[in-house]
Structure 1
Amino acid sequence: MAKKLGLDTVCVHVGEVKDEQFKGAVSPIFMSTSYQFTDVEVRRYPRNYNTPNQESLSKKIAALEHAEAGMIFSSGMAAISTTLLAFLKSGDHMVVQNTLYGGTSNFIREEFPKYGIEFTFTNGYDVKDFEAAIQENTKVVYIETPSNPLLTITDIKAVSALVKSKGLLSIIDNTFASPINQNPIDFGIDIVVHSATKYLGGHSDIMAGAVACSDEHMHAIWKKAANLGGNLSDFTVWMLERSMKTLVLRVKAQNKNAKALAKFLEAHPDVKKVYYPGLKSHPEYKLAKSQMRGLGGMLSFELNNDLDALIFQKELKLIKATMSLAGVESTMLSPYMTSHGSLSQEERDRIGITNGLIRFSLGIESKADLIRDIKQALKTTKKLIKTEA
C-alpha cells in the first residue's frame, strides 16, 4: 500500500502506532522495557529492536526508501558500523569512496585493522575508480552521494551495476539527499544508511540512525545489532516518528533555499568557489538531475583568500555557527574542525577539504534574511581584517 501513497502521506501515516484504547490522532508511546513472553505473537525486548514504537517507525523508514525492511539505531554511526560489521569479517576487503563523511572514514581506518578487515579508498568517485579498487577478497562497496562536505555526485546506477556484476554488496549513505530527494534502492543499491539525526529528525534535538534494505540483508544486520546494542529509546523513537511527518515540507523548503543561496554566493565577489549539485557549474550537475528529485539543502563554499572563514562565521547573527546539519535552522561550520577533524591535515588536503571550506546547511527561513545575514557578516569580517592589518 505504501508504494501507492504520495510521499507526504507516507510521512504522515505509514508507521503510525494505532491508539486502540483512546483513538488519539498521534502515536502513543510504549516506554516499557519488559514485555510478556507467554501467549504472545512477538516476544518484545528493546535491545531486539521490536518494541511497538521501534517496529512501527521501521516501517516508515522502509516505505520512504522503497525497501522491504527498515531498522532504527541510536546514531548514524551505530547504523553504519553495525551494518558494515554484519557483512565483513577478518580477511575480507571493502572498497570505500574517497569523498565521504569523516566519522565513517575514521571508523574504517581505526577499527577495521583490529578486526583484520582490509579496505581501499578510491582515488576518485567515478565508476572506473571503484572497479580499479576491487580485489579478489572484496565483499562490500561503500558510497556516499551527495558527499559530505564537498557535494560530489557518484553515479549510483553505474556503481550498483558494477557491484552486482561482481557478486558484491553495495551500501550507500543517503543522509545528505534524504529519501525525499533520492531513493538509491531504485537504482540497484542493496543497503541504504542514514544519520537520522539530520533530515529525518530535522529539528536538531534528537540523535538517531536508520537502515533500509531487503528482508534477507536486514536479518543479518539485526543479528549483529542485537549483539552490539545500538538501539534507541522509545521516547526518541516517538520524537523521530513525529518529526518525520513534516519531512517532505522541510526538505522541499530547504532545497529551494539552497538553490537560491548557492546562486547568490556563486555571484558574490567575496566568494571563491561554491559546491552545490544544483548549480549548472557543478561538474556532475546533469548526473545529479538524473538521479535526484531535488538537489538538496546542503552546499559548501570557500571565501576569497584574504577573508578568514572563522571570523566570518563568528559574525553571523541569524545563521548559527554550530555543528551538525539539516535542522529547520540554517547552520554553518568548518569541516576541518568538526566533521573531518579526526582526519590528518594530509588526508584532508588529499580529498580537497581546505581550512577555508565552509559547510552551509540551509534551514527553512526566508532566503532574504539569510542573504542579509551573510552580507553583514562579510562586511564586518572585511572591516575586522583591515583593522588588524
Structure 2
Amino acid sequence: MRDSRIETMAVHAGERSPGPDNSVVFPIYQGTVFRSEPGESYHDIQYLRLNSTPSQAYLHDKLAALEGAEDAVATASGMAAVTTTLHALLKAGDHLLVGDVLYGGTHGFLTAHAERLGWTYTFVDPHDPASWAAARRPETKAFLVETITNPLMRVGALTEVVSFARAEGLVSVVDNTFASPVNFRPLAAGFDLVFHSATKYLNGHSDLVAGAVAGSAELVGRIRETLNIYGGSLDPHAGFLLARGLKTLALRVRAQNANAMALAEFLAGRDEVSVVNYPGLGDHPDHAHAKALLSGFGGMLSFRLAGGVPAAESFLSALRLPAVAPSLGGVESLVTRPALTSHAGMTPEARAAAGVHDDLIRLSCGIEHADDLIEDVSGALANR
C-alpha cells in the first residue's frame, strides 16, 4: 500500500483481508485482556493499557501507513501524544529547542511542568535558522515545531529545522495536526517524529478525543513503553471511530482546503476585515515556502475585524452555519476567539507576544459548500 495514493491508502492501508470471521470492516475488540504466549515480554502482552490489543495494532498500522512510518501509536488525546513523546525523549537535565508559537496546551505544559521535571527549554523563532545555533546547548536533545501554527497559520523553515537537527544530533519532532498527512508528510521531509491531535482532522467528525505519534520503530517503541507506564492508551471504541474517520481523510481535507482558500480570498477583499492569516494568500509572509512545502494550505484561517472585540463578538453572534465552539478539523465549520479557548491558559502578555490578540477570530472550515459559507460570513459582516 505504500506506493498507493493517499486516497487509496486511507481506505485500505492497515486493513486485514479477510478480516476476522470474513469481516470487511475491522471489528471492535472491547476486551482488555488476552491469553499470553510463553516467553512474551511485558510490553508484548496483549493488554489494553499496553497498546497491544488487536484493535490497537490495526489502528497503529493504518496510522503508520498514512505517515509513511515504520511504526505508530495512538494515545488518549493530542496532549497525551506530545507529553508522552517529550517524556520518552528527555530526562532530567536535558534541554529542548521549541518553536516560539505553540498550541496553548503544549505551551502550558512546558511553562508549568518542565522545570519540576528537570527539563530546560528555549523558545526559538522557527523562521530564523541563523538564531538556532546560539540557543543549542550541549544538553539539547530535541527540536519541536509545528507545521502550521495555531492560530496565525505561520509555516516555519521546516526544511532547515530538519537539516539543523540532523547536523546537531537532535531528534526533530513536528506537530502536524493542522496540515494532516494529506497536506504534509513530515517523515518524508526528514523529520524523526510526527504527532497529531487526532481529535481534529484525522478523525474529522468531532466525536472523539485521541492523539497519534509516528516515526521509526525505535523511537515509537520508546514512546509506546513510556505511554504504557503513564497509562494514556486509547479506548477501543474511540480507536474504531478514528480508523473509520481516517478512511475519508483525503476527501475531507481537500474540501476543507478549498473552502478555506475561498473564504480567505473573500475576507481579504472586505473593508470590514483588517487582516487575514492564511498561507494560501499571496501576501502571507510564508506563502512562497509554504507553497513549496505543502500539498495544500489547510482548512484553518484567522482574521481580525475593524472594530476590535465588540465587532468580533457581534460577528460571531450573527453567524448561522459555523458553531461558536473550540476545537477544529471536523466536517462542520467552527469559529472561536483563541484568546478565550485554545490560548486562554497563556498570560495576556504571552498571548500578545505571540500575536494572539483578544479580537482574533479563528475559523475551521468544514465541508459545506463554499458559496453557502461565504454567504453566511458576508451576512454576519453586514450585521455585526
Aligned to 1:385: none
Determine helix, strand or coil for the equivalent of 2:84.
helix
User: 2:95 touches 2:140 (CA, 8 Å); kept in 1?
Assistant: yes
Map of 2:313 onto structure 1: 310
Q: Distance in 1 between matches of 2:126 and 2:202?
A: 29
Alignment root-mean-square deviation, CA: 1.4
Partner in structure 2 of residue 130 of structure 1: 132
| Cα deviation digits, residues 272-313 of structure 1 (max 9, x gap) | 000001011111111001111111111111111355212211
CA distance in 1, matches of 2:317, 2:119: 42
Aligned to 2:29: 30
CA distance in 1, matches of 2:20, 2:370: 45
Q: Aligned runs of 1:8-87 on 2, under 5 Å?
A: 8-18=7-17, 20-38=19-37, 43-87=45-89
* Residues 178 and 20 of structure 1, relative CA distance in 2, 3 Å threshold: closer
SS of 1:119's equivalent?
strand
Counterpart amino acid of residue 345 in structure 1: P
Distance across 2 between alignment mates of 1:48 and 1:218? 13
Quickly say closer, same or farther: Cα 1:20–1:338, change in 2 above 3 A. Answer: closer
Supply the AA of the counterpart residue of 1:7. I
1:368 Cα shift?
A: 1.1
The runs of 5 or more residues in structure 2 that have no matched partner are none
Contact kept, 8 Å, 2:70 with 2:215, in 1: the verdict is: yes
**Does structure 2 conserve the Cα–Cα contact (< 8 Å) formed by 1:97 and 1:125?**
no
Q: Distance in 2 between matches of 1:123 and 1:39?
A: 52
- Match of 1:194, SS state, is strand
Q: Which residue of 2 aligns with 1:186?
A: 188
Q: Please say if residues 97 and 122 of structure 2, whose CA atoms lie closer than 8 Å, have aligned partners that are also in contact.
A: yes
* Misfit runs of 4+, over 4 Å: 17-21, 39-42
Per-residue Cα deviation, 1:198-217 (whole angstroms, up to 9, x for no partner): 00010000110000000111
5+ residue gaps, structure 1: 382-389
Amino acid at match of 1:34: V
Output the CA distance in 2 between the equivalents of 1:21 and 1:59: 16
2:344 paired residue number: 341
Q: What is the rounded CA distance, in whole Å, between the counterparts of 2:178 and 2:352 in structure 1?
A: 22
Pick aligned residue for 1:195 from 194, 197, 214: 197
> 1:386 aligns to what?
none
Aligned to 2:146: 144
Offset of residue 123 of structure 1: 4.4
Cα distance in 1, alignment partners of residues 357 and 75 from structure 2: 32
- Distance in 2 (CA, whole Å) between partners of 1:5 and 1:40 is 37
- Residue 18 (structure 1) shift: 4.7
The corresponding residue for 1:321 is: 324
Distance in structure 2 (CA, Å) of the matches to 1:179 and 1:158: 20
Q: Which moved more, 1:118-127 or 1:45-54?
A: 118-127
Contact 2:19/2:26 (<8 A) preserved: no
Is 1:370 matched up with 2:369? no
Query: CA separation of 1:357/1:121 partners in 2, compared to 1, >3 Å: closer, same or farther?
Result: same
Separation of aligned partners in 1, 2:110 and 2:268 = 35
The CA deviation at 1:142 is: 0.5
Q: Report if the CA contact (8 A) 1:17-1:28 is conserved.
A: no
* 1:376, distance to aligned residue in structure 2 (A): 1.6
- 1:211 partnered with 2:213: yes
Give the Cα separation in 2 of the matches to 1:275 and 1:298.
9
CA distance in 1, matches of 2:55, 2:239: 6
1:379 and 2:382 correspond = yes
Alignment partner, residue 238 of structure 1: 240
Alignment of 1:260-299 (within 5 A): 260-299=262-301
Rounded Cα–Cα distance in structure 2 between residues aligned with 1:311 and 1:17: 51
Give the distance between the partners of 1:256 and 1:20, measured in 2 at CA.
Answer: 36
Distance 2:344 2:370 in 1: 30
CA contact (8 A) 1:69 1:215 kept: yes
SS of the residue aligned with 1:120? strand
Quick one: distance in 1 between partners of 2:132 and 2:66? Answer: 28
Q: Closer, same or farther in 2 for the Cα pair 1:181/1:21, shift >3 Å?
A: closer
Shift of 1:162: 0.5
Give the match for residue 256 of structure 2.
Answer: 254
Shift of 1:136: 1.9
SS of the equivalent of 1:308 reads: helix
- Output the CA distance in 2 between the equivalents of 1:21 and 1:163: 43
Amino acid in the other structure paired with 1:233: D
SS of alignment partner, residue 366 of structure 2: coil
Cα offset, 1:124, TM superposition: 5.4
1:21, distance to aligned residue in structure 2 (A): 4.7
What residue number does 1:387 align with? none
SS in 1 for 2:177: coil
Q: 1:168 to 1:318 in 2, by over 3 A?
A: same
CA contact (8 A) 1:95 1:119 kept: yes
Using the size of structure 1 for normalisation, the TM-score is 0.95
Identity %: 42
Using the TM superposition, name which of 34-43 and 261-270 deviates more.
Answer: 34-43
Please state whether the residue corresponding to 2:244 is helix, strand or coil: helix
